[in-house]
Chain A
Amino acid sequence: MSGARGGLAESVYEVFARKTRGEPLRHIGYIDAPGDELARVYAWKTYDEENWFEMCVVPRGAVMPVNRTDGPWAANRPGRKDGAG
Chain B
Amino acid sequence: MSQRAEDELKQKIRKGYILESPEEMTPGYRKAIIVQLTVQADTELMSAPAYWLAARHAPSTNTQVSAHAIIQDELAHANIAYRLLEDMGVSKEHLVYGREPNEFKHPYGFDQPLDNWAELVVANGFFDRAGICLLGDVHRNTSYGPLKRALIKVDMEETFHLRHGEVWMRRLARAGGAATELLQRCVDWMFPMTIEWFGLPDDLKRHSGQLDYKLKGLTNDELRQLWMSSTVPLCESLGLSVPAHYDAAAEEYVLDYPFPCEYDPEEKRWLFEDGKISWSAVFERWKGRGPMNERYVESVRRSRGAVSSWLN
Q: Which A residues contact B (CB, under 8 angstroms)?
A: 2-8, 12, 27-32, 45-47, 49, 68, 70-72, 74
In the assembled complex, B207 has its CB within 8 A of some CB on chain A:
no
Complex CA gap A46/B308 in Å reads 23
Could you give, for residues 299-312 of chain B, a 1 whenever the CB lies within 8 Å of some chain A CB and a 0 otherwise? 00000100110111
Return chain B residues, CB-CB under 8 Å to A6.
308, 311-312
27 pairs of residues in contact across A and B, judged by CB atoms under 8 Å = A3-B91, A3-B93, A4-B93, A5-B308, A5-B312, A6-B312, A7-B308, A7-B310, A7-B311, A8-B304, A8-B307, A8-B308, A8-B311, A29-B149, A29-B150, A31-B79, A31-B83, A32-B83, A45-B72, A46-B76, A70-B20, A70-B21, A70-B22, A70-B24, A71-B20, A71-B21, A74-B21
In whole Å, how far is B305's beta carbon from the nearest beta carbon of chain A? Answer: 9
In whole Å, how far is A27's beta carbon from the nearest beta carbon of chain B? Answer: 8
Complex CA gap A46/B91 in Å reads 21
Instruction: Find out whether the CB atom of A49 lies under 8 angstroms from the CB atom of B94.
Output: no
Which one of A28, A30, A47 has the greatest number of beta carbons of chain B within 10 Å? A30
Complex CA gap A45/B91 in Å reads 24
In whole Å, how far is A23's beta carbon from the nearest beta carbon of chain B? Answer: 15
Instruction: Find out whether the CB atom of A2 lies under 8 angstroms from the CB atom of B150.
Output: no
Instruction: Find out whether the CB atom of A2 lies under 8 angstroms from the CB atom of B76.
Output: no
In whole Å, how far is A42's beta carbon from the nearest beta carbon of chain B? Answer: 9
Give which listed residue, B80, B93, B157, B310, contacts A29 with CB less than 8 A.
B80
Give which listed residue, A32, A46, A72, contacts B21 with CB less than 8 A.
A72
Return chain B residues, CB-CB under 8 Å to A7.
307-308, 310-312
Return chain B residues, CB-CB under 8 Å to A5.
93, 308, 312
Give which listed residue, A4, A8, A12, A71, contacts B83 with CB less than 8 A.
A12
Return chain B residues, CB-CB under 8 Å to A4.
93
From residue 45 to 101 of chain B, which have CB atoms closer than 8 A to chain A? 72, 76, 79-80, 83, 86-87, 91-94
Complex CA gap A29/B157 in Å reads 15
Q: Which 6 A-B pairs have the closest CB atoms?
A: A7-B311, A71-B21, A70-B23, A70-B21, A6-B312, A3-B93
In whole Å, how far is A30's beta carbon from the nearest beta carbon of chain B? Answer: 6
Minimal Cβ-Cβ distance residue in B for A47: B153
